[in-house]
Amino acid sequence: MRAIIETSFDVVYLISVITIGIIMIRNCNGNKEYRLFGIMAVVLGAGDSFHLVPRALALCTTGLENYTVPLGVGKFITSITMTIFYIILYYVWRLRYKIEGKNNITIAIYVLSALRIILCLFPQNKWLSASAPLSWGIYRNIPFALLGLLIIVLFYKSARDHKDKEFRYMWLTIVLSFGFYIPVVLWADTIPMIGMLMIPKTCAYVWTVLIGYQAMKHNH
């Protein structure tokens, strides 16, 4: 039953975000903000598919324990693409609110992203092992959480200052995605049911993408 629910959900999610992303790229009419948003949605869906497709196969066949390597590779790729997702979201913020300069923020975004990716490359992560250490799961997610926090603050302040109704909940979608993601990192290996929190985490990302899509439709 869990296999059917989770797999159906993942398929709908991947098709939805990639489709919305492609629609935004094609229908942006040269608007850089919406084109970037579309690329961001495709990066999100394509990156997550590396993790979710092996997971769906595992759940529907012989179980997760027999898919350790593909799942590990998928998690590694998703870790990188999610970092790229937030870099693109930062540039969406710059375009939407016509931000000039502020190089210190740009440097912070790139330093945190680089730290995250470098930490993901360490062999101590044991991506391909069934017994990946929790400590490295925490290390690599510290710069990622700080990156997310920075994006949350930027969108919260700018949407409030500009009275931007369309993006007023953008910050909240990121808070929710991290709120559901952190328990998975910390406890999913000891309490497998916590892994189900990836479903509301995914819904939060769909909300992120829909905010951009609705804004584009509204302004065309």
Which of 103-109's residues contact partners 24+ apart within 8 Å by CB, and which partners? 105/150, 105/154, 108/150, 109/147, 109/150
CA 47, distance to chain mean position in Å, is: 9
Q: What is the pLDDT of residues 5-63, one digit of tens each?
A: 889 999 999 999 999 999 999 999 999 999 999 999 999 999 999 999 998 898 888 88
Q: What percent of the chain is predicted at pLDDT more than 70?
A: 100
Q: What is the pLDDT of residues 148-182, one digit of tens each?
A: 999 999 999 999 999 999 999 999 999 999 999 99
Q: What pLDDT score does 6 carry?
A: 85
Q: What pLDDT score does 119 carry?
A: 98
The mean of the pLDDT values for the chain is 94
2 has a pLDDT exceeding 80: no
* Dist CA 44 CA 206 (whole Å): 10
What is the assigned CATH class of domain 2-219?
mainly alpha
Q: What pLDDT score does 108 carry?
A: 98
* Dist CA 220 CA 206 (whole Å): 21
* Dist CA 212 CA 210 (whole Å): 5
This prediction has a pTM of 0.95
* Dist CA 133 CA 122 (whole Å): 12
Q: What is the average per-residue pLDDT within 57-83? A: 91
The secondary structure of the chain as a DSSP string is -HHHHHHHHHHHHHHHHHHHHHHHHHTSTT-HHHHHHHHHHHHHHHHHHHHHHHHHHHHHTT-GGGGHHHHHHHHHHHHHHHHHHHHHHHHHHHHHTT----HHHHHHHHHHHHHHHHHHHSGGG-TTSTT--HHHHHHHHHHHHHHHHHHHHHHHHHHHHTT-STTTTHHHHHHHHHHHHHHHHHHTTTSGGGGGGHHHHHHHHHHHHHHHHHHHHHH-
146 has a pLDDT exceeding 80: yes
Q: What pLDDT score does 131 carry?
A: 86
195 has a pLDDT exceeding 90: no
Query: Of the candidates 116, 126, 124, which has an alpha carbon nearest to the alpha carbon of residue 80?
Result: 116
Q: Domain segments of the chain: what residues? A: 2-219
* Dist CA 106 CA 2 (whole Å): 42
